[in-house]
Structure 1
Amino acid sequence: MPVLKQAVLSFCCTDLPETITIADLGCASGPNTFIAVSEIISIMYKKCCELGRSPPEFRVFFNDLPGNDFNTIFQSLPAFQEKLQQENGPKFGPFFTAGVPGSFYGRLFPSKTLHFVHSSSSLHWLSQVPPELVDKVNPVINKGKIFISRTSPAALIDSYLRSEEIAPKGRMVLTLRGRTTPDPTSDQSCLLWDYLGQAFQDLVAKGVVEVEMLDGYYSPYYEPCPEEIQAEVEKEGSFAVDRLEVVALPWDYVSGGINYDRALTAKEMAKVMRAVNESMIGSHFGAGIMDRLFHRFMEIMAADTMEVEHVSLVVSLIRNA
């Protein structure tokens, strides 16, 4: 059974409050914004009906950074609520929503108010570049690199263990990029970033990017391994790990699963990397380098034969009583 569905069903077998509060962290504002919340609410509603319980009210918080397009979310809410009503029947509801702009690396909600928290594809981004990497007096060995290959996983894990905000026995289901190897500098974590770094170096060689600008740029990104997550959750002590699964996909999945079409995969991967990095790169180097940078990324990746899997970690946590 998928991790999210099992977590929701298990939660429904506890003493449920009259109003269930759900938070989606890093919700974005695209076509996928409502998918997880829709699944969570529908499973809860149907399970309560199966158990002969009165369906609860639902209160949903959509969270992302202040620059997220919350207006698009709000404009889409009536259609989303109508869709939930059609799928679950006329007795479904009430259903209340709110947007919560702010970084999930700080407090966002009052104490013990959340019952179910979901986050996908956000938590591998750190809140900031570790200060030791940008110390101009004593710079570390990452000179010329753009990817933070080593950092303390505790900073990542502690930031999203929302122990103050989640009610006892509340749940969190988190999906984030990870790795299966203990070494954070392995190709599994670093290969795509190495391609991007090579593309930057080529622009430096051509005089498009100044070397000092490159030396001052880092991507605040870290992919933990399952053992790190398990250890940090246990050390922090507020949650128990219910399930921790590894999902590995081949690179070709970005091009529709076509079996090893390297050129097409490189083209699609360049689009993905650009979408993820464009705002950060643009704010540091300017938007004018973007086309040349990611075209060169595509060429470098297409010419290489190395391939690793995309690894995601799916973690289901239960708040201790």
Structure 2
Amino acid sequence: MNKENIYMARTSPKNVIDAYYEQFHRDFSSFLRYRSEEVVSGGKMVLTLLGRKSDNPSSKEGCFIWELLSLALQEMVSEGLVEEAKLHSFHIPQYTPSTKEVASEVQKEGSFIIDRLKASEVTWAACGNFYSPQDLIEPDDGYNVAKCMRSVAEPLLAKHFGDLVIDQLFDKYKKILSDRMSKEETKFINVTVSMTRR
């Protein structure tokens, strides 16, 4: 159905994108309902989520980082290191909502009033680059982003593909990231919402 894609992508069929959104709707609605039981009336809550500015759920803003990991996995399939069937059955369980989708879900659930909602950008190169100008060695942006993504995805990947392929996978991913980051500006989008409990 979604073949080599491990996430939503520009080539993903509509039913895949719809399934991701429906899961987000259920999860975020439940999250808001449970938080409303913990926050007193008039209390505040601020959330920051990975998201997107675009209305298109499969836009590069939310999907590109996973598309590149998918390329690394496809390389491993072509080298016989990963079974093709395992690639086809792996899916990242995350949805990057737009500001409109966050607003809509907060309003539908009904426990909170939105005070402020905005999207901001963080370059991938900022991920893990904590160094001073006096450092003699240039940071390896691809390595830093791969390391950051490994901290997020390794447990899922290791459970599905096995521990033995993880180091090779992230080595390939680092090279793909370094190449892409040298050719284009890459960014994460954060959606931040400040809310008041009704």
TM over 0.5, yes or no?
Answer: yes
Matches within 5 A, 1:273-284: 273-284=149-160
Q: Percent identity?
A: 34
Contact residue 148 and residue 221 of structure 1 kept, 8 A: no
- The reply on whether 1:286 has 2:157 as its aligned counterpart is no
Of structures 1 and 2, the one with the larger relative CO (CA 8 A, separation 6+) is 2
What amino acid does structure 2 have at the position aligned with 1:157? F
SS in 1 for 2:141: helix
- The reply on whether 1:244 has 2:117 as its aligned counterpart is yes
What TM-score, normalized to structure 1?
A: 0.52
What amino acid does structure 1 have at the position aligned with 2:94? Y
Give the equivalent residue in structure 2 for 1:160: 31
Give the equivalent residue in structure 2 for 1:314: 192
Contact residue 8 and residue 63 of structure 2 kept, 8 A: no
Give the equivalent residue in structure 2 for 1:296: 172
Give the equivalent residue in structure 2 for 1:76: none
Shift of 1:283: 0.9
CA separation in 1, counterparts of 2:187 and 2:150?
19
SS in 1 for 2:190: strand
SS in 2 for 1:240: strand
SS in 1 for 2:116: strand
- The reply on whether 1:182 has 2:55 as its aligned counterpart is yes
Give the equivalent residue in structure 2 for 1:3: none
CA separation in 1, counterparts of 2:131 and 2:106?
35
Matched residue pairs, number?
Answer: 179
SS in 2 for 1:218: coil
- Alignment deviations for residues 22-74 of structure 1 (CA, whole Å, 9 cap, x no partner): xxxxxxxxxxxxxxxxxxxxxxxxxxxxxxxxxxxxxxxxxxxxxxxxxxxxx
Give the equivalent residue in structure 1 for 2:13: none
SS in 2 for 1:221: coil
What amino acid does structure 1 have at the position aligned with 2:197? R
Matches within 5 A, 1:50-199: 140=1, 142-148=2-8, 150=17, 151-152=20-21, 153-161=24-32, 162=34, 163-199=36-72
Change (3 A) 1:257 1:245: farther
CA separation in 1, counterparts of 2:108 and 2:95?
19
Shift of 1:219: 0.7
1:253 to 122, 126, 131: 126
Contact residue 187 and residue 308 of structure 1 kept, 8 A: no
Post-superposition, which runs of at least 4 consecutive aligned residues in structure 1 deviate over 4 A? none
SS in 1 for 2:119: strand
CA separation in 1, counterparts of 2:131 and 2:107?
37
Contact residue 263 and residue 302 of structure 1 kept, 8 A: no
Give unpaired runs (5+ residues) of structure 2: 10-16, 133-137
CA separation in 2, counterparts of 1:239 and 1:263?
42
Change (3 A) 1:194 1:263: farther
Shift of 1:203: 0.5
Higher-Rg structure is: 1
Give the equivalent residue in structure 2 for 1:208: 81
Structure 1, 153-162 or 210-219: larger mean CA deviation = 153-162
SS in 1 for 2:54: coil
What TM-score, normalized to structure 2?
A: 0.82
Contact residue 148 and residue 220 of structure 1 kept, 8 A: no
SS in 2 for 1:168: coil
Give unpaired runs (5+ residues) of structure 1: 1-139
Higher share of residues assigned helix: 2
